[in-house]
Amino acid sequence: MRQHPRTAGFTLIEVLVSVFLMAVLSGLAYESLNYVRRSREVTQSVYARLGAVELTVHLLSSDFGQLSPRPVRDVVGTSVVPALLADSRTTNLATLTRAGWMNTAGLPRSTLQRVTWRLDGTRLLREHTTVLDSTLSTPPVQREMLTDVVSIHLRFLDAQRNWQETWPAASVGGPAGAALSSRPRAIEITLELKDLGIIRRLVEVPG
């Protein structure tokens, strides 16, 4: 009897095994890609956080490091506010006049800037006004610098090399009105964050 040759092809079992293996490999590939995507998102989030912390510490150091002795009028024009008014026990941590405000556009304005650092809950905010002697019609420009802030504490080194919790300090002597233009020798900044712990900087004030 003549035998017919076997037709080439896959059996049902072979097809099912192939489908099963493809499903397993596809699942593994998906999990690998998903892990890479999650890792990338976490890495980007960490880099963004570190960048925000670095920028905040830089601006704090720059503001206090370029502290100017120029007092300003209050918003209603009835009194004078010191060049540096600070009490880290309040929500307005420090209000100061700083030099070095860049004027790349060549605008007719001063290079001095009035800056306020404020803690709003767990958010650290920086505010500045476009003019030094601002009025009620010139509201400050606000920028959120950091979130998840536990606390921020400032200390001020006076001329007798004693640390003060507020400024102007009671130790500032001299003629009447000297406290309005007084500046500490140095400022210690202690910033505590929920995720990064405590960051401490010591800023020397020139002059």
pLDDT tens, residue by residue, 39-62? 788 788 889 999 999 999 999 999
Whether 4 maps to a domain, the answer reads no
Whole-number Cα distances in Å, 148 to 53, 60, 116, 193, 196: 11, 17, 19, 6, 10
Number of domain units in the chain:
1
What tokens were used for 158? 């006076």
Whether 53 maps to a domain, the answer reads no
Amino acid letter at 191?
L
Contact 193, 149 (CB under 8 A): yes
Return the pLDDT at 98. 94
Whether 98 maps to a domain, the answer reads yes
Note the pTM of the prediction, 2 decimals: 0.78
**Residues with Cβ < 8 Å from 190, sequence gap 6 or more?**
151, 152, 153, 154, 155, 198, 199, 200
- Composition of the chain by helix, strand, coil, percent to 5: 30, 30, 40
Q: Which residue did the predictor score with more confidence, 21 or 198?
A: 198
Q: Which residue did the predictor score with more confidence, 179 or 51?
A: 51
Whether 12 maps to a domain, the answer reads no
32 confidence band (pLDDT: 50, 70, 90) = confident
In this structure, what CATH number is given to the domain that contains residue 111? Answer: 3.10.610.10
Report the 10 Å Cβ neighbour count for 177: 11
Pairwise CA distance, residues 71 & 174, whole Å? 16
Structural domain including 167 reads 61-204
Return the pLDDT at 30. 77
Interstrand relation of 123-129 and 141-146 (parallel, antiparallel or unpaired): antiparallel
* Interval 130-168: pLDDT, tens: 888 888 888 899 999 999 999 999 999 999 999 999 999
Whether 56 maps to a domain, the answer reads no
* Interval 77-121: pLDDT, tens: 889 999 999 987 788 899 999 998 877 777 777 889 999 999 999
